[in-house]
C-alpha cells in the first residue's frame, strides 16, 4: 500500500515551566557559526507491542504522553522551544516546538519493508530544504504519525545552529526518558558559547565562498548501503596494518565507500582527480577537559583527508583517514577556545583553503562529505513502548537538489555492530557505484530494514 498521511492536528508544544528572563537570549558559539545552519532530520519507527489495547486507545494515550513529556523536556532544552532571531542568536520565547500529528491507513511494516525515500518525506513536519533558517523560524519541528496497526513514526527536524548529531540524540533521549519515567534524566549543558565565544566578524557567506567547490549544489539520488556485523569484521581484518592496528567500523566503512566513490567518479567523468574527504569528528571526548554527551551545540570538526589517483588501497585509505581524525585532538580543540579561538580558526580555514586551491588549480578535485552518527544512541530512544525498529536519516527526496551532492551519512544498524550508510551521488555516479564488485562483496544495497 502506498504511504499517505492525513494531518490530524497542528499545535505548538510549549515548555511546562517558563524560561527565566536571564536565559531568554541564547547566543550561539563560534563553532555554531562555522557549521551549516540547515535542519537535521531523523525519523524513528516504532512497532505496536501492545496486545491488550485497541489501536484507538493506544493512539490516544500515546498522544497525551508524548506531548506532556515533550513539554517537560523543553523546560530543560529551552532553546529548542524558541525561534531563530538572527545568525548569532536564538530567541528563547517559549513559543514552543511546532508539533503535528498524522495518521496513515498503511501498516508500519508495509511502509518500511521496502522504504521509498520520496514517500518517507511525508513523515517530516515540513519539506526538507538546504536553506538556512531565517528570523522567526522554529528551532525544532516534530511530526508523530500513527499507523493503522498501532505503530508510529516520529519525524524530527532540529536546526543545526543549536545542535549537532550528538546533541540531537541527547534531546530525543531526554524526551524519551521523561516519557518512560526513567530514574535518570538527561540534563543538557549549554557551556559551549562561553567556551567558544562567538565573533560577529565571522562571515558564513565568506566561508562558503572560500570552500565553494565543496558546497556546490547539485542534483542527487540517495541509496542505502548496509554493512552487517560480519562484513564489518571482515573489513576490519582486511584494513588492519602496523600503522592502524585497530581500525574502527566507521573508519573501514568510510574508507571502502571513499574508494568505491572514487572509482565511480572516474568511471562517469573519464578522469581520475584527487579526492578530498571531510569526515565529521565528535570531539567531546577528545577535549581536555572532556565535554559531556549532553553538551549542546556543534562540538565537532571536519577532519580533511586527501587521496590522489596513485593510492587507492584500502589499508592506505584507512591510514589517511586515521591520520586526519587524530589531528582533531585536545590541543586543536583548545586552540579554538577563548578570545584567541576566532583568529586560530581563521588561520586553520585559510591554510586549508590555500592547500585545496593549489591542488584544484593543478589537477581539479572531487569533494566528499562524511557525517557519522554511529554510537549516538538513536536506537536507545525508548518512550516506554520499546526501542525503534528502524532509524532513518533521510534528508532529501529522491532526485533532488542538495548542498552536498556527494556525501555519506553513517548510522548504526539495529544490532549495533553494523553500519547503514545513506549515500548521495548523482544518478550516473550512483549507477556506477551499484556495479562496484568490491563494495558489493561487503555491503547490500537498499535491503529491507525488517531483515
Of all helices (H) and strands (E), which one includes residue 44? strand 39-46
Q: Terminal CA-to-CA distance of the chain, rounded, Å?
A: 19
Cα(136)–Cα(86) distance, integer angstroms: 9
Cα(383)–Cα(177) distance, integer angstroms: 7
Contact 296, 90 (CB under 8 A): no
Question: Residue 175 carries which DSSP code?
Answer: H
Strand pairing class (97-104; 140-147)? parallel
Question: Which value, in Å, is the radius of gyration of the alpha carbons in the chain?
Answer: 22
Catalytic residue among 110, 132, 137, 382: 382
Concerning whether 382 is annotated as a catalytic residue, the answer is yes
Contact 144, 66 (CB under 8 A): yes
Catalytic residue among 94, 160, 228, 436: 160
Q: What is the sign, positive or negative, of the torsion defined by CA atoms of 77, 82, 83, 86?
A: negative
Cα(275)–Cα(202) distance, integer angstroms: 28
Contact 291, 392 (CB under 8 A): no
Which cell numbers in the block locate residue 203?
562571515
- Residues labelled as active-site residues: 160, 382
Amino acid at each position: 500500500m502506498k504511504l499517505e498521511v492525513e494531518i490530524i492536528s497542528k499545535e505548538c508544544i510549549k515548555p511546562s515551566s517558563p524560561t527565566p528572563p536571564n536565559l531568554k537570549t541564547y547566543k550561539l558559539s563560534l563553532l555554531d557559526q562555522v557549521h551549516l545552519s540547515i535542519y537535521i532530520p531523523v525519523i524513528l519507527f516504532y512497532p505496536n507491542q501492545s496486545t491488550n489495547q485497541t489501536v484507538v486507545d493506544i493512539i490516544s494515550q500515546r498522544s497525551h504522553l508524548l506531548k506532556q513529556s515533550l513539554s517537560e523536556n523543553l523546560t530543560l532544552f529551552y532553546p529548542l522551544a524558541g525561534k531563530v532571531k538572527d545568525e548569532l542568536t536564538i530567541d528563547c520565547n517559549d513559543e514552543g516546538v511546532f508539533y503535528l500529528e498524522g495518521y496513515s491507513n498503511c501498516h508500519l511494516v508495509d511502509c518500511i519493508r521496502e522504504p521509498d525515500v520520496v514517500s518517507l518525506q511525508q513523515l517530516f513536519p515540513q519539506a526538507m530544504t538546504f536553506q538556512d533558517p531565517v528570523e522567526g523560524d522554529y528551532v525544532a519541528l516534530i511530526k508523530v504519525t500513527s499507523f493503522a496497526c498501532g505503530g508510529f513514526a516520529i519525524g524530527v527536524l532540529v536546526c543545526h545552529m543549536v545542535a549537532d548529531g550528538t546533541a540531537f540524540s541527547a534531546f530525543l533521549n531526554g524526551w524519551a526518558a521523561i516519557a518512560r519515567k526513567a530514574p535518570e534524566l538527561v540534563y543538557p549543558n549549554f557551556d559551549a558559547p562561553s567556551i567558544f565565544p562567538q565573533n560577529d566578524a565571522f562571515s558564513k557567506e565568506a566561508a562558503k565562498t572560500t570552500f565553494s567547490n565543496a558546497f556546490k549544489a547539485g542534483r542527487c539520488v540517495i541509496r542505502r548501503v548496509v554493512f552487517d556485523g560480519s562484513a564489518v569484521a571482515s573489513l576490519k581484518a582486511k584494513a588492519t596494518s602496523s600503522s592502524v592496528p585497530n581500525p574502527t567500523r566507521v573508519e573501514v566503512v568510510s574508507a571502502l565507500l571513499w574508494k568505491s566513490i572514487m572509482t565511480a567518479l572516474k568511471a562517469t567523468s573519464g578522469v581520475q582527480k584527487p579526492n578530498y574527504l571531510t569526515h565529521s569528528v565528535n570531539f567531546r571526548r577528545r577535549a581536555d577537559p572532556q565535554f559531556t554527551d549532553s553538551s549542546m551545540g556543534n562540538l565537532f570538526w571536519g577532519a580533511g583527508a586527501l587521496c590522489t589517483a596513485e593510492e587507492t588501497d584500502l589499508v592506505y585509505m584507512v591510514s589517511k583517514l586515521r591520520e586526519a581524525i587524530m589531528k582533531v585532538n585536545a590541543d586543536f580543540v583548545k586552540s579554538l577556545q577563548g578570545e584567541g579561538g576566532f583568529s586560530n580558526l581563521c588561520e586553520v580555514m585559510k591554510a586549508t583553503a590555500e592547500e585545496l586551491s593549489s591542488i584544484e588549480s593543478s589537477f581539479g578535485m572531487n569533494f566528499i562529505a562524511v557525517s557519522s552518527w554511529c554510537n549516538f544512541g538513536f536506537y536507545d530512544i525508548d518512550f516506554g513502548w520499546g526501542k525503534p525498529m528502524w532509524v532513518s536519516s533521510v534528508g532529501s527526496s529522491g532526485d533532488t537538489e542538495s548542498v552536498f551532492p556527494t556525501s555519506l551519512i553513517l548510522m548504526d544498524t539495529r544490532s549495533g555492530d553494523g553500519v547503514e550508510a545513506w549515500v548521495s551521488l548523482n544518478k550516473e555516479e550512483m549507477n556506477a557505484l551499484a556495479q562496484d564488485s568490491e563494495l558489493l562483496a561487503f555491503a547490500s544495497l537498499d535491503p529491507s530494514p525488517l531483515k
